[in-house]
Homo-oligomer: A and B are copies of this chain.
Amino acid sequence: MATTRPSLDDPLNAFCRDTDAYLEGAEAGPLAGTTFAAKDIFDVAGHVCGAGNPDWKRTHSPAAETAWAVSVLVDAGATLVGKTHTDELTRGIYGTNAHYGTPINPRAPGRVPGGSSSGSAAAVAGGLVDFALGSDTGGSVRIPASFCGLYGIRPTHGRISMQGVMMGSPSYDTVGFFADDAELFARVGQVLLQTEIPALRPAQLVVVDDAFALAEHGVDAALRPQVERVGSLVHKVRSVRLAEDGLEAWTEQQVVQSGRETLAAARDWIDEVNPRFSFEVAMRYAAAEAFTEADEEAARGERERIRTRVGQLLSAGTVLCLPTATSPAPPVERTVQQRLDLRQRTLALTCIAGSTGCPQVSLPLAEVDGLPVGLSLLAARGGDEMLIGFAREIAAVL
């Protein structure tokens, strides 16, 4: 495989400038002739992962092996053209990065691309690559997919190997991906899930009313007609209220458990290196120090209750339907507090799949004032290929 990258035209600041990771795809295969990018937490042999933080990059060594997900894509014919920017250590859903700048969202000028898989989403939305790898712990594929108007998936937890990918929060981390059209999205899914993508429609669509209630009015109004059209493709449509005490109450267990896991993964490095973080990222590590073992125990119990509740609804052939995000991409210029507020609301939507390990696909089906907003479909664990196949079907029919 060639490893010298041709010069890269990147008007979006999507790609890391300080690495020239490049792997030419195999000549034949289901992805032959396509190009892709990988978030800078995926190992490429001989290159150091930066993970969005220069002190991380400075204190780590080149990878010995290439990540499994990258390798299978290259073997399937796709050419890796570069590594993409991420929020620091994947901590963020906006795509801002205080060290490397914020990638441009080509479909929402002046707005963030979403994160943390920011550069991957920007590169696909801007046509710099055909598809891209990201990761999703608390929304890091789904949110940029929604903000940039792309297909994006958070797969079933554990379904796609994380081998060679930086782990932050093991019980939440997943490898996901973006594409701009449903057909290629399905072909990439076929390679990464290592299975055929069936032409199946779910039997039942369950509209999550309390999720729609959290969305801004314009988002709700823009998505409702699409929900009707998607509903017209299935046997039965009904709606539920998922959380008795509000979905926002579901977020706390994830904040605690994922916060504890993420701190545990980074603590020794932070202690030794005293790295530079943007304040927003540092404060999240600092806040996690306050969570106790007992808090985590309680969080585990709450997570189990959420899994049971969602599991009750997700019989085979059932798909939940919800807005991917509560708003279109917000402006780049925002205060820390404004971002925290929106993050809290957003997490109330993304924590459903995150806490249950269920797969979720975001479909670029609507716009609000010209800004993309995604509609999400969520299935029982293992329903990845059904969701991807249904997304392809929806794109073909609607």
The chain A residues found within 8 Å of chain B, CB to CB, are 55, 96, 98-99, 270-272, 274-280, 282-283, 285-287, 289-290, 335-337
CB–CB A271/B99 < 8 A? no
- When chains A and B are docked, how far (Å) is the Cα of A283 from the Cα of B335? 19
CB–CB B286/A282 < 8 A? yes
Which residues on the B side are within 8 Å of A287 (C-beta)?
Answer: 286
23 contacts between A and B (CB under 8 A): A96-B274, A98-B275, A270-B336, A271-B335, A271-B336, A272-B336, A274-B279, A274-B335, A275-B278, A276-B276, A276-B277, A276-B278, A276-B279, A277-B279, A277-B282, A279-B282, A279-B285, A282-B282, A282-B286, A283-B283, A283-B285, A283-B289, A286-B287
Quote the shortest CB–CB distance from A192 to chain B (angstroms).
34
Of the candidates B96, B275, B279, the one whose C-beta lies within 8 Å of that of A270 is B279
CB–CB A337/B271 < 8 A? yes
Which residues on the B side are within 8 Å of A336 (C-beta)?
Answer: 270-272, 274
CB–CB B275/A279 < 8 A? yes
Quote the shortest CB–CB distance from A97 to chain B (angstroms).
10
- When chains A and B are docked, how far (Å) is the Cα of A280 from the Cα of B286? 9
Which residues on the B side are within 8 Å of A96 (C-beta)?
Answer: 274
Which residues on the B side are within 8 Å of A98 (C-beta)?
Answer: 55, 274-276
- When chains A and B are docked, how far (Å) is the Cα of A32 from the Cα of B110? 56
Pairs A-B, 7 closest by C-beta atoms: A282-B282, A286-B286, A283-B286, A271-B335, A271-B336, A276-B276, A274-B278
Which residues on the B side are within 8 Å of A272 (C-beta)?
Answer: 335-336
Which residues on the B side are within 8 Å of A276 (C-beta)?
Answer: 98-99, 276-279
Quote the shortest CB–CB distance from A295 to chain B (angstroms).
15
Residue of B nearest to A287 (CB): B286
User: Which of A55, A280, A282 is most buried by chain B, counting CB atoms within 10 A of its CB?
Assistant: A282
- When chains A and B are docked, how far (Å) is the Cα of A290 from the Cα of B286? 11
Q: Given contacts A98-B274, A274-B278, could you give 9 more A-B pairs where the C-beta distance is less than 8 Å?
A: A98-B276, A271-B336, A274-B336, A276-B276, A279-B285, A279-B286, A283-B283, A283-B285, A286-B287
- When chains A and B are docked, how far (Å) is the Cα of A27 from the Cα of B93? 60
Which residues on the B side are within 8 Å of A271 (C-beta)?
Answer: 335-337
- When chains A and B are docked, how far (Å) is the Cα of A279 from the Cα of B275? 6
Residue of B nearest to A98 (CB): B276
- When chains A and B are docked, how far (Å) is the Cα of A117 from the Cα of B55? 25
Which residues on the B side are within 8 Å of A337 (C-beta)?
Answer: 271
- When chains A and B are docked, how far (Å) is the Cα of A99 from the Cα of B98? 14
Which residues on the B side are within 8 Å of A270 (C-beta)?
Answer: 279, 336
